[in-house]
Amino acid sequence: MIRDGNAPVEEKINFDAYPRPHFAYGVHRAAMQAKALDIDAISVIEFGCAGGNGLLALEAMALEIGKDVGVRVDVYGFDIGEGLPKPLDYRDLPYAWKMEQFKMDVPKLEARLTTAQLVIGDVADTVEPFGQREDLAPVGFISFDLDFYSSTMAAFKIFDAESTKMLPRVYCYFDDIIGPDNELHCEYVGELLAIKDFNKSKSTKKIAQINGLSWKRYIPAPWNDSMFIMHAFEHPLYGVYIDTKVDMDLALEPTS
């Protein structure tokens, strides 16, 4: 494991050296996609910030990774600020979550943030106007940590924004599809059900797991199974070739 903070950024990402390696992977891959598409800035979002430790970490690594790749990375954190709301029904897993868990001290967190912006309020009310912001750089990575099915479905409205507000493939991390034994996540409740219902409702956009990610990582980890992509098939840039490998012709090898 690399512990040297001065190690190359890509090396730290490859060896999960960042404190939240799933954030680092998502931000880096989104920034690399943007660079390949000649996009000079992206937005990354944390839906559900709790006390704010994750948002602070995201802010720090976004600055470092963005500088390394050559793409500006704007950071946003969405939270209701008052802890979890009341579950609407069984799909929100009321046996696993309770009201007012994960409260945020908003002024305290805001005082520590340097570049990231907090968006406080119910995501059902805040996401749609956020997606219409003229200054919003294309969204490239999102961490979904809203716990509830209902809140996650509301957050998915970000994907209804114009194509100029999204990369053609948005990296998504879902925090609540793997958890302790009491949570028992499945496709009939919570975030997994939200993904399933989103895919049912959209013909040209799909959220799909990155198949075989753990096999490509130097250090396979549970977060690998929580990484997904929102594919926007009709995005004007979806079909633009972005592979940076020089020799991909695989010509016939000469005989010995």
CATH of the domain at 47: 3.40.50.150
Q: pLDDT-derived band of residue 99, with 50, 70 and 90 as boundaries?
A: confident
Question: What's the whole-number mean pLDDT along residues 59-88?
Answer: 96
Q: 242 lies in a domain? A: no
Q: 115 lies in a domain? A: yes
* Number of helices and strands in the chain (H, E): 8, 7
User: Residue 166: pLDDT above 70?
Assistant: yes
pLDDT of the residue at 4: 59
Q: 254 lies in a domain? A: no
Domain of 225, in residue numbers: 9-232
pTM, to two decimals:
0.94
pLDDT of the residue at 251: 78
- State how many domains the chain has: 1
The per-residue pLDDT for range 43-62, each reduced to its tens digit, is 999 999 999 999 999 999 99
pLDDT of the residue at 2: 52
Helix (H, G, I), strand (E, B) or coil at 118: strand
Q: pLDDT-derived band of residue 98, with 50, 70 and 90 as boundaries?
A: confident
pLDDT of the residue at 3: 56
Q: 64 lies in a domain? A: yes
What's the burial of 199, exposed, middle or buried (CB within 10 Å: 0-12/13-18/19+)? middle
Q: 244 lies in a domain? A: no
Q: 241 lies in a domain? A: no
Task: Give 40-108 as a 3 state SS string.
Answer: CEEEEEEECCCCCHHHHHHHHHHHHHHHHHCCEEEEEEEECCCCCCCCCCHHHCCCCCCCCCCCCCHHH
Residue type, 181: D
Q: 165 lies in a domain? A: yes
Q: 246 lies in a domain? A: no
